Amino acid sequence: MTRLIITGVVLAASTTQGEPPRAKPPNTQTRTSERQIVYGRAGMVVMPDLDSPEAKAKAEVRREQRLIERELRRIRYQYFRATNNTEIRQVGLAKMREYTDPIAFEPLLEVFGESDAEVREAMLDHIAAQATPESDAALTWAAVYADNEQLRNAAAYRVHSRFDQSGEVTLGQERIIASGLAEQSDGPLTAAANLADMLKLYQAIPMLINAQIGGGPSGGTERAGALGQIWVAQQQAFVSDLQPVVSDSAVGFDPTLDVVSSGVVMRVMDASVVIYRSEVHQSLISLSSNAWGKSTADLGWDRQKWHDWYTGELLPHLAEKARTDAELEPDAGP
C-alpha cells in the first residue's frame, strides 16, 4: 500500500522541562494544536537538514506513529484476527476508537485498511467522526491512493458525506486531489477526477482537461534499434565460405551457409500511444457543465477547444456570477 506521509512542524512547546514531547495516550487531543499535519504522496516530501527543527519534528512524529502502529497491530491480532466472537470484536472496536490524534490516522489506515468489511467500515467511520481538516485529508488520501478498491470506494463515500455536512473543501483535500490528477497511473487519476467532480472543485478543470488524454512517444532517442519490423521476402540459402579439411588419405569441406533475402521490410523506429481516459472525460464534462450552467459535451476530446472555452467562456462566466452574488448579499454593515 502506498504510504501516507504525515509531517509535523512543532509550533509551540508542550513541555515545561525542555524535553521533547513524549508519547501520550492515544485519546489525547493536545498535539492537534502543536503540529501542522500535511498529507502527501510518498517521495514528494523533501526532508530538510537532519539537524533542523523540522526534521527533528518529523522524526518524532514517525517515532510516535511506529509506536501507535505496533499497538494497533496488537489490537487487530487480539480482537479481530483470531476470533469472530461479537463481544470480543466490540471490545476491539472500542479500543480502536480511542485513537483520535491526527498522527494516528495513517497507522489506522495502514493496519485496518486490509481488514474485513466490518472493521474497515468502523475504522473509516471513526476517522470521519473526528470532523477535522486532518481527518478529511486522511479520508481523501485513502479515496485517491488506497490500493484496496473497497477501501478507496468506502473512503470516497465518506468524503462525500462530510462535504454534504460542511459544504467546504479543505486545503489539504485540494492538494491531494491535485496530486492525484498529476499521476500517470489510471487508478489514482480516475479516483481524483471523480472526487473533483463530487466536491465541485472548479479550479481543477484545467488539470482535468490535460488529464483526459494521455500517452506519448514510446521510443525515444536513447533507445537503439527498431521497435519492430515486418518482413515480406523470399530467403535463399547459399554457401558463403568453404573451408577444406584434410587428413591422411582423406579430404573434406566445412561449408558456411548464409541466407539472402529478397523482398520488402518495414521497420517501426518509433511509436506514439494516445490514451483516452473516458472516466476522467465524463468527470470533466459533469464538473464543467455544472460550473457553466449548460452542457460542454460538444467540446469532445479536443484539448485546445477546452482551453479556449475555459479562458474565453468559463472564467468570465464565473467572474460575472461572483460579482452578481456579491451584489445580492445584504449589507453586513461596518
Q: What rounded mean pLDDT belongs to the chain?
A: 81
Which letter does DSSP use for residue 10 in this model?
A: B
Using the predicted structure, report yes or no on whether residue 4 has a pLDDT greater than 80. Answer: no
Using the predicted structure, report yes or no on whether residue 107 has a pLDDT greater than 50. Answer: yes
Q: Considering the entire predicted model, what is its pTM?
A: 0.68
Q: In the prediction, which pLDDT does 22 show?
A: 38
Q: Max CA-CA distance within the chain?
A: 123
| Beta-bridge partner residues of 234 | 262
Among all chains, which residue has been given the C-alpha cell 494516528? 104
Q: In the prediction, which pLDDT does 223 show?
A: 60
Q: Model confidence over 299-312: pLDDT tens digits? A: 999 999 999 999 99
Q: In the prediction, which pLDDT does 53 show?
A: 78
Task: Kindly indicate the confidence band of residue 218, based on its pLDDT and cuts at 50, 70 and 90.
Answer: low
* Minimum mean pLDDT range among 22-31, 101-110, 139-148, 167-176: 22-31
Using the predicted structure, report yes or no on whether residue 189 has a pLDDT greater than 90. Answer: yes
Using the predicted structure, report yes or no on whether residue 46 has a pLDDT greater than 50. Answer: no
* Minimum mean pLDDT range among 21-25, 37-41, 127-131, 218-222: 21-25
Over residues 46-65, the mean pLDDT reads 75
User: Nearest Cα to 101, choosing from 130, 70, 69?
Assistant: 130
Using the predicted structure, report yes or no on whether residue 121 has a pLDDT greater than 60. Answer: yes
The helices-and-strands tally (H runs, E runs) of the chain is: 12, 6
Q: Model confidence over 234-274: pLDDT tens digits? A: 999 998 888 888 888 788 888 899 999 899 988 888 777 88
Q: What whole-number distance in Å separates Cα of residue 210 and Cα of residue 202?
A: 14
Q: What whole-number distance in Å separates Cα of residue 194 and Cα of residue 120?
A: 22
How do strand 38-41 and strand 4-7 relate by DSSP bridges?
antiparallel
Q: Domain residue spans in the chain?
A: 4-168, 228-268
Q: Please report, as a single letter, which amino acid is at residue 265.
A: V
Using the predicted structure, report yes or no on whether residue 41 has a pLDDT greater than 70. Answer: no
Over residues 136-156, the mean pLDDT reads 93
**Where are the strands (E) in 269-328, listed by range?**
272-276
Q: In the prediction, which pLDDT does 31 show?
A: 41
Using the predicted structure, report yes or no on whether residue 62 has a pLDDT greater than 70. Answer: yes
Task: Kindly indicate the confidence band of residue 332, based on its pLDDT and cuts at 50, 70 and 90.
Answer: very low
Task: Give me the phi and psi of 170, to 5 degrees please.
Answer: -80, 165
Q: In the prediction, which pLDDT does 55 show?
A: 77
User: Nearest Cα to 39, choosing from 155, 129, 153, 167?
Assistant: 155
